[in-house]
Each structure stands twice: as C-alpha cells, then as structure tokens.
Structure 1
C-alpha cells in the first residue's frame, strides 16, 4: 500500500502544520512547499519518505465539489450489512471539508503506517485505504469494501461550519425531499436518497420581494454588458449604456463584487464575462418567483433570453416594474430549490463517471438555477457570488 488518505471536517486548517510536525518529530525531517510536505525518516538502515498534501474547501473548493459527490456515490452503492452504519458514513462524507493525501515513496511499512494512523487520530477524521476500507479516528475499521462492518464504534463528526444534520431534520424537509426524489425517479434521473434535507421554511433567511426584484433588475442589466465583453463588443458604449440603466432603475448599489469588478476593468477577463453572462439562468428563477414568468422549465434548454429582457425592460422605472410583481409562496420556491439541489447532484455524479448529464440536462443551467433559488431561500449567509455548490 503506497497511499493513505485522511478526511476530516474542520473549521480551519491553520493547525495542520503543527500537527504534522508533532507526529513526525525526532528522527524525521520535514520540508514544506505551499500546502505540501515531504517527510523523510533520517535513519541509515530504516530510511523512508512520504509526501503529504493538505487540501481544504477554503483552498481547493473545486476538488471537494468534484470528488465528494463521487465518494458519496461510491459508498452509497456498497451493500452495507448495517444500513444504519451506511447512513452514518454518508452523513460523515457530506460534512468533509479537509483532506490529507499521503503518498509513500515505496510501500508503507509498519512504522510509517502507524504514524499515518497517529496523524489520523490527532486530526479526528476518517482514514481511506486504497481498497475502499474506511478507518475511524482510532484506526479501527468502520466498513470493509464488501460492506461488512468493522469493530469501530463510529459516529460522524462535523465542524460547526458543516453541520446540517439534526438542526434541519424535519418532517417538512423530509416530505419535500421525498417529493423531489419522486419526480426524479419518474424521469429516470439517478438520485442520492441520503443527500441532506434543506431547512424548513421557518429556518430559511428569506429575501424579500423587493430584494429579489432589485437583484433581478441589476443582474439583467449587467448581463448585457457581460455578453458584450464576452463577444468582443464596443465596451465604452456598452458600459455607458449599462451604467445609465443602473441609474435609471436605481439599482447601482445592488451590484455584487464580481459584477463591479467586471464593469471597472478596462479589459474584462473573457471567462469572467462568460460566467456572468450565463447568469441569465440564475436570473430566470428570480423573475419566476416574482411571477413575471409562469414556468420554471426543466433545465434541458437555455431560457428565452428575449422574453427575459422584455419582462423587465418594458417598464420605465423600478417602481413601475415592482407594481407588476407578486411573490410566489415560500413553499413553492423552496420546493424548486430542493429539486434543483438534487438535479445538481445527478449532473455532478454523471460528470464524475464520464457520462452525459441525465435526461438531457445542462449542468451549467442547473448550477445557475441553484444559485438564484438558494440566494432567495437563504440556506446560509453567503452572498450571490459565493453560493456554495457542494452536492
């Protein structure tokens, strides 16, 4: 065995270096480069070397968004002898936000493996072996690759940043989850039954009707500039036009940090412009929630951009537009958010397996729909530019 991986749920990783140096003390030398460590055993007759790489959601969000769904899918398909233990394992995986990947120069011998387990214990995580065996923080087996249980007295551990579990488990949330799963099942879309509930209506931090309307107007306007920037249009004229519209509707203060940066740069980054241009699909749930459009169609085709523009631009002021809106029920909006959350998991899971998104879905549309819906619902305190996309 040359590889050993430690996963954990931690509020921060500032103490990782201290923990690594505490474990590999004495006859070991440690070289650090960025978040990577090379540990060498300084012994004439028992010399070995291992490399450690520390990743966290704060430093490597893409890794966790891409790999944690695959890890959940892997263990979801293992035939656990104990279904309760399976639920505990999947709950733990959903809360992971830190990883230490350990690679040995040669096969891990008894001493380096013992030290890997000591590091696991001090971090308080779970250990992943190459064959799929999971170890608890004390080195005891949680589950073997065939699904049989090990001797570990395992209970999930989650940092305060990642806790979802009991705080949001509710009959309402379970009804909503099962309704979403039923719809996915009818369309033949894979789902993860243990993907967490969203909070009940009463626990969400809802945006008001006016906040949603102002965000929709500001977003639609800046999207026009993003489209010009992405397509190499005349930006001076476009910027003047867009700034005039923002002033006309009184929504200049609704721009996000990313949007302000796009408008301030002389030569906007093309990919950043494309990213914001795609937010037509995040804008669409906003105007759906305001009942400016009747439907939130299945995400297998892009929205009607001409209608999306007309829904706002035909009104001469924000006040005139706002009088045309009426907010849908919070239950309807949260239902849509829950379903989109599970559709996003299906898209990510298929991508990880090298497959097309199921039922003809377009993952970018699903992701942007989720941005708009989660922002309105307020599942967390994140702003528009930083809505978490973990599944």
Structure 2
C-alpha cells in the first residue's frame, strides 16, 4: 500500500532522490507556494494538542523556518527504509496523511493529540550537532552551562549567508550611527550631509531606524545608549569580513577607536573585493553566542547577575549581528530577533 509523504528539507542542496517512488512535486524557495505551505505548517505545529510551547514544538518550529525544499511523493510501504537514508541526508521531517509529523525513521515527533515522546530524535545535520557539543564543552570548562535540549544553530549545509559586500555596507552604516551617537552624547551632533560626503557607501546603507536617528534633532537618552551599544554588533561584522583579526571572548567592551579607524580606512576601498571568513568560523561564533545569550537570559529571568566573566549587552549585540549575517528569519537589520 503506497504512503503519501510530504518531506520538508532544510539543506540548500538536497541529495538526489534515488529510491523507488512516484514523485508528485518539488517546491523550492523560488516557489511562492512553499512559503504559504510553511506558514500553514507552523500554524499546525503550534495549534496541535494543547498548543503549549515545549522543546519539541520549538524544535519543529525552527526546523520549518529553515526549510529550503518541500517534496511530495508516494512510496510503497516496503520501500520506506530506502527513503530513510535520503531523509536523514536531506535533514527532513515528514508529514503523513494521519497528521503525524515524523523523523526520517518514521518515529513520531508530534501527533494531532500532542502525545509527545521526547526521546525521539529531531533531525539536525551532524556538523551542527558537533558544533553544539564543542561549544558546550568549551563553556563547561569556564563554569558556564546550558541545557542539553538547547538545539544547535543553523548548519553549513543549511545556511544562506549575507554577501560580503552586503556585510561591508552594513558595517559602515553601523559605524556612522555609532559616531552620531557619540556626537549626541557630547551635545554636538554631526550634520548628516557630512556622513554622506565622507562615507557615501555607509550612508546609503543606513536602515530606516538608523536614518531616523542620524537625522534626529533630539533623540532620547535611551536611543543614544542603544545606538552606542551597536558598536558591539559592528565588531563581529568587521571580523566576519576580515577587517578585524579576531573576535575575543565576550568579557570585554570593544575598542571603538579601532572599529572606526578600520571602517574609515576600508570605506575608501573597493568593497567588491571583500571576502567572508570560512562558514565554519562564522557558525562557530553564532552557536557560541547563542549559548552565551541563553545563559545571560536565564540569569536575568532568575533575577540574578550573570558571571563577571561575560557581559550581557556585548553578547546580545553580537548575537544580533550574527543572526542578521546568517539570515535568521530572513529579517532586515531593524527587525532581527535573538530568541534563546
């Protein structure tokens, strides 16, 4: 008896379908129907059973957000084992006609009655799990711990990075905003036209919020503070495009003068020649700061101070920048989220 399978793969280049089946359709990111289906799928996951958030529902939600391909096909029941190997390589979850969501082995991750077996494995690319383990071990040596159920971040096989020139433009825009924040603090705001003249590339890349801030006659004290902290988001972006040689541990405030010097130096050069660091390094940094952010958030929710060895605001801004760099939720700069 044939089984109708909807498979949702998160990898950018899924393996070829090499098992016997009747292919019904394939949708990629260029198909607007895929996004409609994914929105509906997320709604289904969130409303199944009691609808209460838990680690399984959260993991499925994040998986669906990362989906790059949807496949629908019919496969004979006796051939399901041949599908399994493909499903793990594609990092896919499957939706069956009985309403169950399953991993490639056919084990139930979520059913309509919300009967959840938390021991069932949620698909993650192996290298993402290795990265998670490596950072957990590193933090443990520092006396910092995160729960084992905290998932890995996006994997190399899944990520679609911002382009190098896009990162360079964003870095220059943040730099200009930070400079203006300093000038507001000194009650000597800079004429925005001076930014346009001295750094036209960065000026053109300003986000809506940044542009409003730079042109503001009297920003609030909180706005000035918030924009000043964005220097901490600038550091990982300059590091990502090799304008800084290292991204130190988040236990110190960044050297603002170094960031501005590097930014102004490179603003006069051809940014089309900018290159990104290896993807593995970028994702190592993202996974580490995701876990550090969870730690600081956990301390705050408990009404406790985090260890003196880490700085919450530095971690928050770095996480923000790295989420933008890796296209988290495909959000524009002003709308980046940093859930933990």
TM bracket (short chain): 0.5 to 0.7
The separation in 2 between residues aligned to 1:215 and 1:316, in whole angstroms, is 11
Aligned to 1:116: none
State the 1:244 CA deviation.
Answer: 2.4
Alignment gaps of 5+ in structure 1: 1-8, 16-67, 73-88, 97-135, 139-151, 157-164
Partners of 1:227 and 1:274 within 8 A in 2 = no
**Rounded Cα–Cα distance in structure 1 between residues aligned with 2:320 and 2:195:** 23
The partner residue of 2:178 within 210, 213, 223 is 223
Shift of 1:379: 2.9
Q: Distance in 1 between matches of 2:60 and 2:226?
A: 28
1:124-135 aligned within 5 A:
none
Counterpart of 1:306 in structure 2 is 257
2:337 pairs with 1:381: no
Corresponding residue for 1:92? Answer: 57
* Distance in 2, Cα, partners of 1:314 & 1:346: 36
Q: Name 1:263's counterpart in structure 2.
A: 214
1:179 to 2:134 alignment = yes
Asked whether the equivalents of residues 189 and 359 of structure 1 are also in contact (C-alpha less than 8 Å), the reply is: no
2:284 alignment counterpart: 335
The residue that corresponds to 1:28 in the other structure is none
Q: CA RMSD in A?
A: 3.0
Which residue number in structure 2 is paired with residue 352 of structure 1? Answer: 301
- Output the CA distance in 1 between the equivalents of 2:320 and 2:212: 19
Cα distance in 1, alignment partners of residues 170 and 228 from structure 2: 15
TM-aligned CA deviation for residue 10 of structure 1? 7.2
Deviations 1:136-180 (A, max 9, x none): 998xxxxxxxxxxxxx83369xxxxxxxx95x6111110111111
Q: Give the number of the structure whose alpha-carbon radius of gyration is greater.
A: 1
For the 8 Å contact 2:176–2:203, the answer to whether it is kept is no
Specify which of 367, 371, 374 is matched with residue 316 of structure 2: 367
Q: Distance in 1 between matches of 2:267 and 2:127?
A: 41
Instruction: Indicate which of 241, 248, 262 corresponds to 1:290.
Output: 241
State the SS of the aligned residue for 1:380.
Answer: helix
Alignment TM-score, normalising by the size of structure 2: 0.64
Residues 1:11 and 1:276: Cα distance change in structure 2 (over 3 Å)? farther
State which drifts further: 361-370 or 204-213.
Answer: 204-213
Residue 199 of structure 2 aligns to a residue in which SS? helix
* Cα shift at 1:287: 1.0
List alignment gaps of at least 5 residues for structure 2: 1-40, 62-110
**Residues 289, 315 of structure 2: 8 Å contact kept:** yes
